[in-house]
């Protein structure tokens, strides 16, 4: 049995968010193929994720490796990720990146002594062997030049996860979603069909 963490970062609700329509479908299909897996859904807006403050930072620098902060309102997310086998992230492309609440969450997840450690050879990720997938919808075409240089969301996620030891990272992106020439409903429908095969192998 695997533990799955489904992280959702969009202020729009299910049924309205184009990103969630695709990612929710993926999760539904995944459940059918893996009925015994444990899936935890983490809606960051409902979690009321907060920004790190000076006390949080000081705590992370003192004895966090002892595990005594496992239930701390901030560090619990780092331990949760450490205990997870697969991570699903659903976050749209906003202002060349992703919603700020996801960055706040990632700051809670990337904690020295928990999800990575500093060694004499440099930092070492502690999340080796896990896999992740990022579902994202974008208004334009940001996987190709010249706009690819402005894509900072998926790039950051992929880089940070590699830093934590997660190199098996897949991106499922829908692009040109805000162009008048795009049949949005058809694109979403086709994407949902494509996620069925993807879910089998995740």
CB 51 within 8 A of CB 102: no
Distance CA 19, CA 173 (A): 9
pTM for the predicted model, two decimal places: 0.93
CB 116 within 8 A of CB 125: yes
Distance CA 18, CA 191 (A): 11
CB 64 within 8 A of CB 30: no
87-115 confidence digits (pLDDT tens): 999 999 999 999 999 999 999 999 988 99
pLDDT at 14: 73
13 secondary structure, DSSP code: P
173-186 confidence digits (pLDDT tens): 998 878 888 888 89
Domains by residue range for the chain, with CATH = 3-200 (3.40.50.360)
Q: Is 58's pLDDT higher than 90?
A: no
């Amino acid at each position: 049995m695997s533990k799955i963490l489904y992280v959702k970062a969009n202020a729009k609700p299910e049924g309205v968010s184009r990103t969630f329509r695709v990612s929710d479908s993926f999760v539904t299909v995944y459940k059918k193929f893996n009925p015994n897996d444990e899936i935890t859904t983490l809606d960051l807006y409902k979690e009321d994720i907060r920004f790190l403050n000076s006390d949080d930072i000081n705590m992370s620098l003192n004895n966090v490796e002892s595990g005594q902060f496992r239930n701390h309102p901030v560090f619990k997310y780092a331990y949760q990720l450490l205990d997870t086998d697969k991570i699903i992230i659903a976050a749209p492309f906003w202002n060349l990146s992703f919603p700020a609440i996801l960055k706040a969450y990632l700051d809670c997840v990337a904690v020295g002594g928990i999800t990575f450690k500093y060694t004499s050879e440099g930092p070492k990720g502690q999340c080796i062997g896990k896999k992740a997938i990022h579902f994202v919808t974008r208004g334009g075409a940001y996987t190709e030049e010249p706009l690819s240089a402005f894509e900072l969301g998926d790039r950051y996620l992929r880089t940070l996860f590699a830093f934590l030891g997660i190199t098996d990272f897949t991106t499922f992106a829908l692009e040109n979603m805000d162009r008048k020439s795009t049949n949005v409903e058809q694109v979403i429908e086709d994407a949902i069909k494509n996620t069925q095969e993807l879910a089998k192998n995740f």
